[in-house]
Each structure stands twice: as structure tokens, then as C-alpha cells.
Structure 1
């Protein structure tokens, strides 16, 4: 089906297929989804990229034209395009899907793009280099493991910022992931690796793509939103 003719039902079906697919097959799913990825997310009122740049606008204190940005799980380059509008010009992108990286390359914004599956593979960048590190939408059970958060911190330069945005999807695995993630973020703060700048919870992160309600013997879609969180940290300068 062409992108222009896709509906919210098509978008929900794609999200459900993504969540239910075997993690080993998920990378290939994203490559196949690349052409419709942004359209489907827009149909589901997905706000994560805008939440990330809004937080950056509120808290980034450097010169965006000189800043080096690491866009982790960069996907189609959505976040980079919005950051470009803010004045950022230097991007390195990382993603596990070759199809998504091809979309990101077409934006013309990235000086380098790297294919890597976080968790099984380390983040393929030098330490203490980036003024801003972003990861938007990928921190969830079955996707990017919590252990990768330390890799994000490692990549940031001392005094650099790490911006993480994620949705609070339904189900025990997602709830457990959020609890463990926030425990790790706090632990890293206690270890002196970074300091918290802001944590924001939003009510309307995106429409819930999995919820269906039975009424009068018929199944109908009801617009219900899931919440989300923005986590913004500043890497410690040193002892």
C-alpha cells in the first residue's frame, strides 16, 4: 500500500507486528517498515522527536552550529531534521536497520552513519566526544537494552548532554523495563557519571497502538494515549 493511502488501522497493524515479532527478525522488519515509518508514527500522534528537541531547546546552552550530535537509533533521521531546524549541523547516526539508515542518508544531514545492533554490539564511537547524545523511542523491552545507557554516557564529552525519550507502553515487560531503567539512571548519578538536568513525564506521548475495546459485541478503536518520559542528563566534568 502506498504511503499516501495508509490509515490509522494500517499504522496500528505495523506497530503490533513490530512488537510481536521475534527480536531476531525485528531488524529486518524495520528495514521493510522504513518507507512508511514516519507516516505511521504521525498517524498515531507520535510526539517523541518533538519532545526531544523541545527539551534540548530548553536546556542546551552551547552553540548548536558547532556541536557534535550522536543520534542513536536514528531511524529515518526524524530527530536530526528537527535539530537541524534548531541550528545543529553536525550529526553521526547509529541504527540497527540498514533500511532505516538508507532513509537517514537521504536527509543529507549526517557526516557518518553506522550500522550496529546495540546490546550485542558496543556503540562504535570514541569516548568523550559528543556535545549531545540522543536516543528517541528505542528504550523498551526487547529493543535497546538498559546496559546501553552507559554507552550513551561514555560517548558524551564531559559537560555534554544525553537526551533519552521513551514511551510507557502497556504490559509487565515495559513496566519492568522502566523501573530498571530509572534505577540505572539513578545509580549512574550516584556514581558521579552524570547529573540530572530534567525528567519530564507527558500524558500524550502517542496513541496506544495496541488497545482495542469490546462494546456491544463489536470491536471498535478508541483513541487512548500512552504516557512517556524525557530524561535529560549532563555528563560530569570530572573529579
Structure 2
């Protein structure tokens, strides 16, 4: 979908070599890096200069000024799909995703609403709301999706449908206000 909508410079990260290989086989990504979001620094994109319009995914933390870290405000759009959940990407990684997004850029995040993920979802929503209260971003959308993905057990299934529900969050990073002299 992103490619059809004009996004041509896509970078991806994943902690799984197998998932990176799958992504590589699509031919859609210009750069793919192995990284566990929230646990290790992401190698900076090759060339490490400004990326063209229509940037892709994002990065975890590293020391400030570290040449191996994705520069601040580097990507116009950041997406995390299928990784924000219990035992996966910690909710504490969200501020780093915001850091690498350009002012006015968008972040699209998803998580599951199944019983075993409810505690994580509450933690994630607390982080999202705190960043909104701080004026870092504005919520564009929070949409529940009834049949997000197939359930792996009946206990996880939403009302016996065989599916797990989920939620899609879209936020827009607030522009940095200009300081005007009187």
C-alpha cells in the first residue's frame, strides 16, 4: 500500500533474520537492518544524510551524537505493525520512534487487544497519552479492528470468532513552534 501511494524510500528493522529475509524478498525496502527495538541502537542508514520524502521505519536508542544512531527528525513516517505487544517491543521505545520522526510527520502504531496483551496495551496507551499531553504529537486516529489477526487459541479469540481484535493508532508529530521576537 505504501509503495502504491508514492512512498519509495522505505527502511525496515526487525529483530528476526527470517522476517528481514521475507521483507527483502518483496523488493520494496531500500534498507533493512536487524535490530530489537527498545533494546539496542539501530545502525544509522547508509549515507546518513537527509533521506528523501517518503521515508520508512524507525529506530531504538543509542548515545546522543552516536554516528551509529538514526539522526533526529529523519523519517516522514514511522510504522510499527505487529511488534508492539507483551514480550516484544517495549512501550518505552515509543519516544525514540517519535524522536526520529520529522515535525509534521506521522507515526502509525498497532497492538493487539487480546486478553494476554491487555496489560501491555494499557501501558502503551499511557505512554501515548502522556506524549500527547506534553504536546509532542496529536492523535489523528485510534481505531479498533475487530478481526485484526487469527487467534492462536480459543482463549485469545474475540467472542469465538477465531480472531484477535486490535487497534491502529495514528499520531502526527507536532511542529516545533518558532520563537518570535517582539
- TM bucket normalised to smaller: 0.7 to 0.9
1:94 aligned to 13, 18, 21, which one? 13
1:234 match: secondary structure: strand
Distance in 1 separating the partners of 2:145 and 2:23: 27
Is residue 2:67 matched to residue 1:148?
no
- Deviations along 1:92-121, whole A, 9 cap, x unmatched? 111111122122122222121111111221
Question: Which residue is equivalent to 2:128?
Answer: 185
TM-score, structure 1 normalization = 0.58
Question: Which residue is equivalent to 2:119?
Answer: 176
Distance in 2 separating the partners of 1:107 and 1:206: 21
Distance in 2 separating the partners of 1:207 and 1:136: 15
2:3 aligned to 84, 87, 95, which one? 84
2:91 match: secondary structure: coil
Is residue 2:86 matched to residue 1:167?
no
Question: Which residue is equivalent to 2:137?
Answer: 194
Distance in 2 separating the partners of 1:223 and 1:192: 39
Q: Which has the higher contact order (CA 8 A, sep 6+)?
A: 1
What is the CA distance between 1:225 and its match in structure 2? 2.4
Q: Runs ≥4 in structure 1, deviation > 3 angstroms?
A: none
The structure where helix makes up a greater share of residues is 1
Distance in 1 separating the partners of 2:30 and 2:147: 33
- Deviations along 1:134-185, whole A, 9 cap, x unmatched? 00011001000001111111111000000012221222xx111111110110
Question: Which residue is equivalent to 1:48?
Answer: none
Question: Which residue is equivalent to 2:164?
Answer: 226
TM-score, structure 2 normalization = 0.75
- Deviations along 1:32-90, whole A, 9 cap, x unmatched? xxxxxxxxxxxxxxxxxxxxxxxxxxxxxxxxxxxxxxxxxxxxxxxxxx311222211
The count of residues paired between Structure 1 and Structure 2 equals 147
RMSD after superposition:
1.5
Any unmatched runs of 5+ in structure 2?
A: 42-59, 61-68, 178-182
Distance in 2 separating the partners of 1:110 and 1:175: 32
Distance in 2 separating the partners of 1:106 and 1:207: 24
Assess if the C-alpha contact under 8 Å between 2:137 and 2:172 holds in 1.
Answer: yes
Question: Which residue is equivalent to 2:71?
Answer: 126
2:10 match: secondary structure: strand
- Deviations along 1:183-234, whole A, 9 cap, x unmatched? 110000111111111111121112322116xxxxxxxxx6432211010000
Any unmatched runs of 5+ in structure 1?
A: 1-81, 213-221
Question: Which residue is equivalent to 1:135?
Answer: 80
